[in-house]
């Protein structure tokens, strides 16, 4: 597996993790599973946890030639990092949106 293939794998894992953890598209199944169990609520709101399982799933189903556990751990770390950076950027943008400039 080349570097480009590995980066594509990581980016697809991070994208699927973002869809599962925080998107509006997946909110109905996520809310349904969260109501059934407190553990599922914690799991489905954790990008690092979901990223691990997404990495395992993608490494077994897609034609990426990467070790299953290496894929899980690297996808978990990358998904967490991307999700954290996007959340931080969103927080900074929200902060600047709420600043009163004093102009009218």
Mean predicted lDDT score pLDDT of the chain: 87
What pLDDT does 104 receive? 54
The predicted-structure confidence for 54-92, as pLDDT tens digits, reads as follows 999 988 887 767 788 888 899 999 999 998 898 899 899
Report how far apart, in Å, the C-alpha atoms of 55 and of each of 35, 73, 76, 95 are. Answer: 25, 7, 7, 33
Number of domains in the chain: 1
In a domain, 55, yes or no: yes
In a domain, 103, yes or no: no
What pLDDT does 70 receive? 86
The predicted-structure confidence for 13-55, as pLDDT tens digits, reads as follows 999 999 999 888 999 999 999 999 999 999 998 999 999 999 9
In a domain, 104, yes or no: no
Q: Decide which of 19 and 2 is more confident.
A: 19
Which residue range(s) make up the domain with 19?
Answer: 3-97
In a domain, 102, yes or no: no
In a domain, 68, yes or no: yes
**Cα 46 from Cα 69, distance rounded (Å):** 19
In sequence order, which residues have a C-beta less than 8 Å from that of residue 16 and are 6 or more positions away?
A: 54, 58
């Amino acid at each position: 597996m080349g570097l480009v293939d590995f980066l594509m794998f990581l980016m697809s894992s991070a994208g699927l993790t973002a869809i599962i953890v925080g998107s509006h598209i997946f909110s109905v199944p996520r809310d349904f599973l969260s109501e059934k169990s407190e553990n599922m609520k914690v799991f489905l709101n954790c990008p690092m946890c979901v990223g691990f399982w997404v990495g395992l799933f993608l490494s077994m189903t897609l034609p990426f030639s990467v070790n299953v556990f290496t894929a899980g751990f690297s996808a978990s770390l990358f998904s967490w990092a991307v999700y954290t950076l996007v959340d931080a950027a969103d927080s900074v943008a929200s902060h600047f949106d709420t600043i009163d400039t004093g102009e009218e």
